[in-house]
Amino acid sequence: MVAVRLDKILINGIIITLEESQPKAEALAIKDGKIVALGTNEKILNMNHGGEVIDLKGKTVVPGFSDAHVHLIGTGLNMLGIRLNDADSLEEVLARIRNKAKAQKPGELILASGLDTNRFKEERLPTREELDDVAPHNPVFINRVDSHSCVINTKMMELIKVPLDLEGVEKDTYGLPSGFMRKAANSYVRNRVLNIIPEEMRIRAAHMAAEAAVKVGITTIHALEGGQLFNDKDVEVLLKVKNELPVHVVIWHQTMEIEKVKKTGLPRIGGCIILDGSFTSRTAALFEDYSDDPGNNGVLYYDQETVNQFVEEAYRAELQVSVHVLGERAIEQILTAHELAQKKYPRSDARHRLEHFELPTKEQIKRAVNLGIILSMQPAFEYYWGGSGMYGHRLGQARALRSNPFCSIVRAGGIIAGGSDSDVTPMNPLVGIQGAMTHSNPEERLDALEALKLFTINPAYSVFEEKERGTIKVGKYADLTILDQNPLTTKPEEIDQIQVEMTIVEGKIVFEKE
């Protein structure tokens, strides 16, 4: 055996490679950020390593987790603000805003996120007047959990000059703005609020979100930045600082402006280009009405011609393209656009993506697979809201059972890239894996191996990085996640209890559990 000076060796582990030629190993060696040897303890120990020896003591190593759908700077900004994800009542929300206002100077922004009225006994949002009462001297912005609606107070309305005739400015019984913003009003408010945030705060946000990611075993983030629900300044900042972060970052620029993306040199465009809304806000575009809101079947934000033109221009520019689609009507719109563009500018391996793809018909699944489209989905949605939860209320039981049809897609030959849509749900691939394995419909549950691929090799494949990342193989980057239990043998309902012990990115330990 040739003597090699190594940086690290890992021994005494259960190494799940996701490579068919060598599915398991007990040790590996790392040099210059890459895996240079893989095999038995004896084989690796006999190499002249000269570097750090990490005894795994029976722990499990999997390919570093990827999260294929994160709004990275938005996630970090929310971490810097008030977190409402665990607030169980309207009273608690108002108390947190009041306490923040007392601690801040008059005029300083108060940003809050994660508002989920499904947790409240009141089942309603705070009003503009209630926010005025608890924060009379500060502009307040509360982001709802799905980012497709928000609530603001009078000071914020005045600061960003919200046009009262804008679609989605909800009115109270007196015809005055209630503070609740949906549809176009939500995009207007979010973009302007995010526009006034200083660059220094954005940089702090990027670092904070990346540090949170490595703690849950994430080594690669697909950062969907800019655009309607966020701000293009996020893209500018992330391009500056991404190499300083402890994770590998792939950037999607959420814009429909082809030339803007070409100037940055990015090979992909889109992400959350929102063709429809969300189930939470009852704005996802469905074939049939919402079960809890008769007469409403959601919203399409663009006409077919506009979608066709955008997709065609992306094809012509040879850019990889992705958009946000939840309901059947939005899915129909984007599949039609892809089919037309593919006829004009055929490409055999473009790997375009659809974000969410939550309620497709069987025919739409077949069409997406035939087009070679990658489905970027969020199994944690099933974990938090599936079955008789929010999905059941909004969609009714029959449609809830066919939402997020993971197994149907895989059986049809489709590829699913798993993500969190952070900050809609927290970054946590293990929760996503459990969600994919415990779908409320047993026929849509994935086995452990397929579920693991959703957060490893599949995201890498979706952005043409499968030769560098996504599996444990000699020659690939040493992106590794060390777990205290084996996800392939843990009960599906206990996957979320697995602990991340260590995260390694390109051979460097970026997180180690104390």
Tell whether the model's pLDDT for residue 145 goes beyond 90: no
Give the pLDDT mean for 504-513: 99
Cα–Cα distance measured from residue 477 to residue 473, given in angstroms and rounded to the nearest whole number: 8
CATH of segment(s) 266-446: 3.20.20.140
Q: Are strands 500-505 and 480-483 parallel, antiparallel or unpaired?
A: antiparallel
Tell whether the model's pLDDT for residue 53 goes beyond 80: yes
Supply the pLDDT for residue 337: 99
Residues facing residue 10 across a β-bridge = 28, 54
Cα–Cα distance measured from residue 318 to residue 307, given in angstroms and rounded to the nearest whole number: 17
Supply the pLDDT for residue 139: 97
Q: Are strands 65-70 and 60-63 parallel, antiparallel or unpaired?
A: unpaired
Query: Does a cis peptide bond (omega within 30 degrees of 0) precede residue 276?
Result: no
Tell me if residue 14 falls in helix, strand or coil. Answer: strand
Length of the chain: 514
- Take residue 504 and report the two structure tokens written for it: 């390694």
Q: Are strands 60-63 and 140-144 parallel, antiparallel or unpaired?
A: unpaired
Residues facing residue 413 across a β-bridge = none
Residues facing residue 218 across a β-bridge = 65
Cα–Cα distance measured from residue 266 to residue 314, given in angstroms and rounded to the nearest whole number: 12
- Take residue 252 and report the two structure tokens written for it: 């999607």
- Take residue 103 and report the two structure tokens written for it: 């601690």
Q: Which fold has domain 1-58+472-514?
A: Urease, subunit C; domain 1 (2.30.40)
Q: pLDDT band at 366, cuts 50/70/90?
A: very high
Higher per-residue pLDDT: 271 or 85: 271
The single-letter DSSP state of residue 290 is B
Residue 215's contacts (CB-CB under 8 Å, 6 or more residues apart) are 500, 503, 511
Give the model confidence (pLDDT) of 89-114 as tens digits: 999 999 999 999 999 999 999 999 99
Any idea which residue has 């129909």 for tokens? 332
- Distance, C-alpha 319 to centroid of its chain: 21
Supply the pLDDT for residue 447: 98
What's the Rg (C-alpha) of the chain? 23
- Supply the mean pLDDT for the chain: 96
Tell whether the model's pLDDT for residue 49 goes beyond 80: no
Q: Which has the closest alpha carbon to 391: 125, 118, 144, 84?
A: 118
Supply the pLDDT for residue 37: 96
Give the model confidence (pLDDT) of 225-240 as tens digits: 998 788 999 999 999 9
Supply the pLDDT for residue 2: 60
The secondary structure of the chain in percent helix, strand, coil, rounded to multiples of 5, reads: 35, 25, 40
Give the model confidence (pLDDT) of 272-326 as tens digits: 999 999 999 999 999 999 999 999 999 999 999 999 999 999 999 999 999 999 9
CATH class of the domain defined by 78-185: alpha beta
Lowest-confidence segment of 116-130, 212-226, 372-386 by average pLDDT: 116-130
- Take residue 218 and report the two structure tokens written for it: 């994430």
The answer to whether 186 and 151 have CB atoms below 8 angstroms apart is no
Other CB atoms within 10 Å distance of the CB of residue 449: 12
Cα–Cα distance measured from residue 353 to residue 416, given in angstroms and rounded to the nearest whole number: 10
Residues facing residue 112 across a β-bridge = 82, 142
Lowest-confidence segment of 136-140, 193-197, 335-339, 370-374 by average pLDDT: 193-197
Tell me if residue 387 falls in helix, strand or coil. Answer: coil
Residues facing residue 157 across a β-bridge = none
Phi-psi region of 355 (alpha: psi -120 to 50; beta: other; left: phi over 0): beta
Tell whether the model's pLDDT for residue 118 goes beyond 90: no
Supply the pLDDT for residue 3: 60
Supply the pLDDT for residue 146: 84
Cα–Cα distance measured from residue 91 to residue 89, given in angstroms and rounded to the nearest whole number: 5
The answer to whether 81 and 230 have CB atoms below 8 angstroms apart is no
- Take residue 98 and report the two structure tokens written for it: 């009041």
Any idea which residue has 């995009």 for tokens? 187
Q: The whole model's pTM is what?
A: 0.92
Cα–Cα distance measured from residue 229 to residue 236, given in angstroms and rounded to the nearest whole number: 16
Tell whether the model's pLDDT for residue 48 goes beyond 90: no
Please give the sequence-ordered ranges of beta strands (E in DSSP) within 287-347, or none if there are none: 320-325
Supply the pLDDT for residue 481: 99
Domain boundaries, the chain: 1-58+472-514, 78-185, 266-446
Residue 500: how many CA atoms within 13 Å on its side-chain side? 25
Other CB atoms within 10 Å distance of the CB of residue 364: 18
Supply the pLDDT for residue 475: 98
Other CB atoms within 10 Å distance of the CB of residue 53: 14
Supply the pLDDT for residue 51: 86
Give the model confidence (pLDDT) of 437-496 as tens digits: 999 999 999 999 999 999 999 999 999 999 999 999 999 999 999 999 999 999 999 999
Supply the pLDDT for residue 298: 98
**Could you give the residue ranges of the DSSP H alpha helices within 90-182?**
90-103, 128-134, 154-160
Q: Are strands 24-25 and 52-55 parallel, antiparallel or unpaired?
A: unpaired
The answer to whether 151 and 126 have CB atoms below 8 angstroms apart is yes
Other CB atoms within 10 Å distance of the CB of residue 310: 24
Whole-angstrom CA distances from 182 to 59, 165, 167 are: 47, 13, 8
